[in-house]
Copies of this chain bind each other. A is one copy, B any other.
Amino acid sequence: MTDKKNAKDIIIKAASRLFRTRGYYGVGLNEILKESGTAKGSLYYYFPNGKEELAIAAIDYTKEFVADKIRRALEKFEEPIQAFQAHINDLSEEFGVHKEIFGLPIGTIAGETSLTSEPIRLACQSAFECWQLIYVEKLLASGYSEKHAKELGLLINAMLEGGILLCLTTKSREPLRIIAEQIPFLLKK
């Protein structure tokens, strides 16, 4: 999680960005190397098992990165409704500003590999669980029941991945904004 120090982190960061935006099979090793300014030797030194191992590291990095972003956004308001709206609007805003480097956090790679690579699938699952847990905790703190909180946490995860996908496909930030507006109806106790 430290900044640009060793080559390993640089490679992970570049891979994370590229995998997120274009998927696992859509990005080649050469492109990752070019973007990160490193060479093949370094990649296979740090990731002896190649592309798959790198992808898992990239997903883990994205998991933590996104988790921090979620936490920071949810802290802004005590009330879940306002907090989640703030979070979603943050995403929408980010998409509006620099749409090129914005991808489904891990949706694309998750869909591509769910049937072809069990290790990557598990890494994606872990990320989704991590984010959901943050949502759940926020809801529990406001008195939602354990069951209800878990259901809503899952739903928010699904809505966000789907919403980001729609933003990408329509090249507009409207989908996420509309989703944010529906949050109050959803979180009504």
Contact = CB atoms under 8 A, between A and B. Distances in A.
A121 interface: yes
A157 interface: yes
Contacts of A23: 23, 25-26, 108, 111-112
- In the complex, the count of this chain's copies comes to 2
Contact of A158 (B112, B121, B159): B159
Chain A interface mostly helix, strand, loop or mixed?
Answer: helix
Contact of A26 (B25, B160, B185): B25
A163 interface: yes
Interface of A: 21-26, 100, 103-104, 107-108, 110-112, 114-116, 121, 124-125, 128, 151-152, 154-155, 157-163, 165-166, 168-171, 175, 178-179, 181-182, 185-186, 188
22 contacts: A22-B112, A24-B26, A25-B25, A26-B112, A104-B111, A107-B165, A108-B111, A110-B168, A111-B165, A125-B170, A128-B166, A151-B181, A154-B166, A154-B178, A157-B162, A158-B162, A159-B162, A160-B162, A161-B165, A162-B163, A186-B186, A188-B188
